Amino acid sequence: MIWNNWSEFFSMGGYGLYVWGSYLVSFACIAGEIWLILNRRRTLQKYLGLRDESTIREKK
Amino acid sequence: MSINWYKYASPASFYFLAGRMIPYFSIAAIVLLIIGLYIGFFVAPTDFQQGEAYRIIFIHVPAAWMSMFLYLVMAFWAGIGLAFNTRLSSMVATAIAPTGAMFTFIALWTGAWWGKPMWGAWWVWDARLTSELILLFLYIGFMSLQAAIDDPRRADKAGAVIALVGVVNIPIIYFSVQWWNTLHQGASVSVTQSPKMAASMLVGMLIMSLAAWMYSIAMILMRTRVIILERERHTAWVAELKGAAR
């Protein structure tokens, strides 16, 4: 195992700021994009008066 | 049994097909992400030159690859929509842009935060970095141009033009490290030569790239479905969805 303990893991060989700064912002962007699209979909469904379409069988 | 390819070219049937596919791509993205991060942080060894800072590669390279790849896919569908006047193709192109812009931003951000400890600078007007920044402006230009035009069909055409014109920037980004003497390193991974990276580092990076790809497909399918609903809200089949609501 590369890391002996968690604090060593978070210090990331002294580059912790840069590594975690990169990862946190990247995952914040991804989480933000997911939230935006779900929010856009919810407001649209409310506006169009659709129920959650998973309960609507595709018509054959 | 002949397959009717055009069945799914209609927004209505694509809407339901995409709805069924999204969960599979989402699960694949999550599983690949967990595996990729595990390899990246717990299997791949410390780099003899960069120490631990190189681990940013597991998000920087997949994001950069996706930013270029998604632009090409966007330009392709925009071109198809322009040439064949197929509404769904243009909707997919419109759906791709935000995800592509996000990956471009992530590539630039993680690159800067990797460059600071390694090069000593957050930003340099280097050929690779500058052309990637232009890519970000192209994505933003595409999105704002389309947003500025009310009629969706005209917005599709205008967007297609800017998308197709911008395609020239992709090979510039890719080959910038060979054409110019750049601070950014050359390609470490190529389909022709043997990889110049340690196996576990390479595997971790490739799995993260697959995770980014699965994520992009799931996100773009979701956004396409929302765009379909927005543009087709006056149609019968959407009304039928509404009918089911009452």
- Residue ranges of the domains in chain A? 13-59
Whether residue A59 has pLDDT greater than 60: no
Q: How confident is the model at residue B6 (pLDDT cuts 50, 70, 90)?
A: confident
Mean pLDDT of chain B: 92
Is B2 within the bounds of a domain? no
C-alpha angle B161-B166-B169 in degrees, rounded to nearest 5: 165
Distance of CA B7 to the CA centre of its chain: 26
Confidence of residue A52 (pLDDT cuts 50, 70, 90): low
Cα of A51 to nearest chain B Cα, Å = 5
Is B63–A12 a contact, with Cβ atoms under 8 angstroms apart?
A: no
**Residue B240: its chain A contacts at CB < 8 A?**
59
Q: Residue B125 has which token pair? A: 């007007």
Q: Is B4 domain-assigned?
A: no
Q: Domain span at residue B125?
A: 13-188+199-245
Q: What residues of chain A lie within 8 A of the CB of B244, using their CB?
A: 50-51, 55-56
d(CA A23, CA B109): 10
CA distances from B242 to B10, B18, B196, B202, B236 (A): 19, 19, 56, 49, 10
Express each pLDDT in B37-86 by its tens digit: 999 999 998 888 888 899 999 999 999 999 999 999 999 999 999 999 99
User: pTM of the full predicted structure?
Assistant: 0.91
Residue B240 in domain: yes
Distance from B107 to chain A by nearest Cα, in Å? 9
Distances B210 to B23, B30, B78, B135, B169 between C-alpha atoms, Å: 16, 10, 24, 22, 24
Quote the number of domains for chain B.
Answer: 1
Contact B41 A9 (CB under 8 A): yes
**CA–CA dist A42, A34 (Å, integer):** 12
- Express as a percent the part of chain B with pLDDT over 70: 98
How close is the nearest chain A Cα to the Cα of B44, in Å? 9
